[in-house]
Amino acid sequence: MRDTNRPIAMLTAYDYPTGRACDLHGIDITLVGDSLAQVCLGYDSTTRLTLDEMIHHCQAVARGSKNPFLVADMPYGTYHTGVDDAVRNAIRMVREGGVEAVKMEGGLELVEIVKKLTTFGIPVMGHVGLLPQRHTSLSGYRVQGKDAKRAVELVKSAVELEMAGAFSIVLEAIPHRLGELITRRLSVPTIGIGAGPFTSGQVLVWDDVMGTWSGHKAKFVRRFAGVQSEAKRGVTEYAAAVRERTFPDIEAESYPMEDMEWQQVV
Ligand code: KIV
Ligand code: NA
């Protein structure tokens, strides 16, 4: 797709129905992002997510998302303690979780891991720029690479990851010029989130696209649907109908019983 200049549409999914929707409605890459921690499990950071929790959700997404390429985040701490641990955990993601590729956040420090996984035939997607798993040392969730020194570092990271074998790289929260430059420098596709319109593709978090919550909205988010207001309408109207006893309707939504049978019961 990159070579023929067709933009790649990637979207996160966290369970069977969201995976199914990605499959049915033309998504190219389904990502079981570790944003799962916040948007589905209510943790305050992706660093809370365990490998077992991630695998549990990958299994559900994999049952629903067959056609798109299926990628999942390696959770925090599952690839930091050495190449052997990273390999063992990535194999679990593939064998138990049913994903086709793994994504990991970082730069040069990941080169050995990426090399090893790709030699074993596990495709790796890189992720540079804003790294949510390192939000503490990055002093929060902020745009990366606005200064020349950091920008050069990010270009170098992306190039090294490609050389190590990464099949694609996510660029998160960087200036659009930098997103464009990195995309030109690489021969593998870049997938942007807050990296401007010149990357090979885009990715967004399901809940941001759907508008399922009304919390903080990053500059790079566009809400394409208004699920929260629909959910509010559904829940409040349902609860009101129960309280008013207008639900269920005795004819349309209840089961009848023959009079003759009923006589024998009473
Ligand atoms: O966890 C996630 O959802 C992600 C994407 C937004 C890139 O890493
Ligand atoms: Na992530």
Tens digits of per-residue pLDDT, 72-81? 999 999 999 9
**Burial of 31 from C-beta contacts in 10 A (0-12 / 13-18 / 19+):** buried
Name which residue sits closest to atom 1 of ligand 1, judged by CA: 33
CA-CA distance, 71 to 115, in Å (whole number)? 18
Beta-carbon contacts of 97 under 8 Å, excluding residues fewer than 6 positions away, are 32, 54, 55, 58, 59, 62, 72
- Average pLDDT over all residues of the chain: 97
The Å distance, Cα 131 to ligand 1 centre, comes to 9
| 8-225 belongs to CATH 3.10.450.630 | no
Confidence band of 264 (pLDDT split at 50, 70, 90): very high
Q: Pocket residues for ligand 1 (CB within 6 Å)?
A: 12, 31, 33-35, 73, 170, 172, 193, 203, 205
The predicted-structure confidence for 182-223, as pLDDT tens digits, reads as follows 999 999 999 999 999 999 999 999 999 999 987 789 999 999
Q: Which atom of ligand 1 is nearest to the CA of 103?
A: 8
Identify the nearest ligand to the CA of 172 by its number. Answer: 1
Nearest atom (ligand 1) to Cα of 105: 8
Percent of all residues in the chain with a pLDDT value above 90, rounded to a whole number: 97
Residues of the chain with CATH 3.20.20.60: 8-225
More confident call, 143 vs 216: 143
Q: How far is the CA of 149 from the centre of ligand 2 (A)?
A: 25
Q: Can you tell me the mean pLDDT for 210-238?
A: 94
Integer Cα distance of 90 and 101 in angstroms:
9
pLDDT value for 139: 87
Ligand 1 mutation target, pool 48, 172, 206, most atoms within 8 A of CB: 172
How far, in Å, is the centroid of ligand 2 from the Cα of 46? Answer: 8
Average pLDDT rounded to a whole number, residues 94-113: 98
What does the pLDDT read at residue 168?
A: 98
Ligand 1 atom, smallest distance to 204 CA: 6
Instruction: Give the residue-averaged pLDDT of 5-11.
Output: 98
Ligand 1, from 58, 128, 203, 208: best to mutate by most atoms within 8 Å of Cβ? 203
Say how many Å lie between the CA of residue 241 and the centre of ligand 2: 40
232, 213 contact by CB (below 8 A):
no
Pocket mutation for ligand 1, best pick of 43, 71, 73 (most atoms within 8 Å of C-beta): 73
Half-sphere exposure of 213 (CA within 13 A, CB side): 12
Q: Which ligand 1 atom sits closest to the C-alpha of 12?
A: 3
User: Can you tell me the mean pLDDT for 33-43?
Assistant: 97
The pLDDT of residue 64: 98
Distance 236 CA to ligand 1 centre (A): 32
> Is 253 noted as a catalytic residue in this protein?
no
- Give the integer Cα–Cα distance in Å for 230 and 110: 43
Here the contacts of 235-239 (C-beta below 8 Å, separation 24 or greater) are none
The band of 145, judged by pLDDT with boundaries at 50, 70 and 90, is: very high
pLDDT attached to residue 214: 75
Ligand lying nearest the CA atom of residue 173 = 1
Res 213: pLDDT = 80
Q: Enter the pTM of the model.
A: 0.96
Residue 133 pLDDT > 80, yes or no? yes
ipTM of model over 0.90: yes
How far is residue 104 from each of residues 12, 54, 79, 111, 209, measured CA to CA in Å?
15, 13, 8, 11, 23
Q: What pLDDT, on the 0 to 100 scale, is given for residue 179?
A: 98
Q: Is the pLDDT of residue 54 over 80?
A: yes
Out of 105, 162, 172, 180, the active site residue is 172
Pick from 90, 94, 128, 91: nearest CA to 109: 128
- Compute φ and ψ for 102, nearest 5 degrees: -120, 150
Arithmetic mean of pLDDT, 91-109: 98
**Which whole number is the average pLDDT over 65-90?**
98
Looking at residues 52-80, what average pLDDT do you find? 98
